[in-house]
Amino acid sequence: MILSLFLISMVMSGALGFVYVITKKPIEETQKKAEIEAVKNVLPAFDNDPTKDVKNIDGLMYYIGTKSGEVVGCAVKSYTNKGFSGHFEIMVGFKPDGTIYKTAVLDQKETPGLGDKMKTKWKDQFNEKNPTSYNMKVKKDGGDVDAITASTITSRAFCDAVTRAYDGFMKNISNTNKQ
């Protein structure tokens, strides 16, 4: 009986490992395509390939978009660990002056029907806002952001990820564009 259970466990472990190896690369390719699509969606019109010269600084990824050689914006892949379900990732597009162009959700595991509403039009309230004048906190905390109903934690976490992206952009990218 012990030998039978051992053999079954070994065969199933081998099968699980085989499936992992087979599916790992397609999953990574799908995630990369989603990231590239998010870059296209959050930046103003550009004519270069921002994915060719990606900068990874302090855990944030920066994709700089140019048109006719002039910087039109920067997409920042940001994250937070403060979500209701922990870690999630977003893409935030900035104009050269730091104004948010658009945002996109890349990966999240928030509660279906509640926190996952961040993927809907809710995120559009950040479009065309500049964090220097738009308080990136939910209204419950004295800010300007309308929280998702019944998902204040997710809303706060989204604001955290946007703020992280903005701070990184202003520190690492915006200043280098002026030189």
* Whole-number pLDDT of residue 179: 45
* Whole-number pLDDT of residue 176: 59
pLDDT truncated to tens, each residue of the chain (179 aa)?
999 999 999 999 999 999 999 999 999 999 888 888 999 999 999 999 998 889 999 999 999 999 999 999 999 999 999 989 889 999 999 999 999 999 999 988 888 888 878 888 899 999 999 999 999 999 999 999 999 988 899 999 999 999 999 999 999 987 655 54
Distances (CA, A) of 48 to 60, 113, 121: 21, 38, 28
Domain borders along the chain are 41-177
Distances (CA, A) of 141 to 36, 117, 137, 138: 34, 20, 6, 5
Q: Which residues neighbour 22 within 8 Å (Cβ) at sequence distance 6 or greater? A: none
Amino acid at residue number 116? D
* Whole-number pLDDT of residue 119: 85
Alpha-carbon span 149 to 170, nearest angstrom: 31
On whether the CB atoms of residues 88 and 80 are closer than 8 A, the answer is yes
Predicted TM-score (pTM) of this structure: 0.83
Q: Provide, for the chain, the percentages of residues in helix, strand and coil under a 3-state DSSP scheme, each rounded to the nearest 5.
A: 45, 25, 30
* Whole-number pLDDT of residue 177: 54
* Residue-level length of the chain: 179
Kindly state the tokens that stand for 86.
């922990």
Tell me which H or E stretch contains 11: helix 2-42
Alpha-carbon span 56 to 175, nearest angstrom: 16
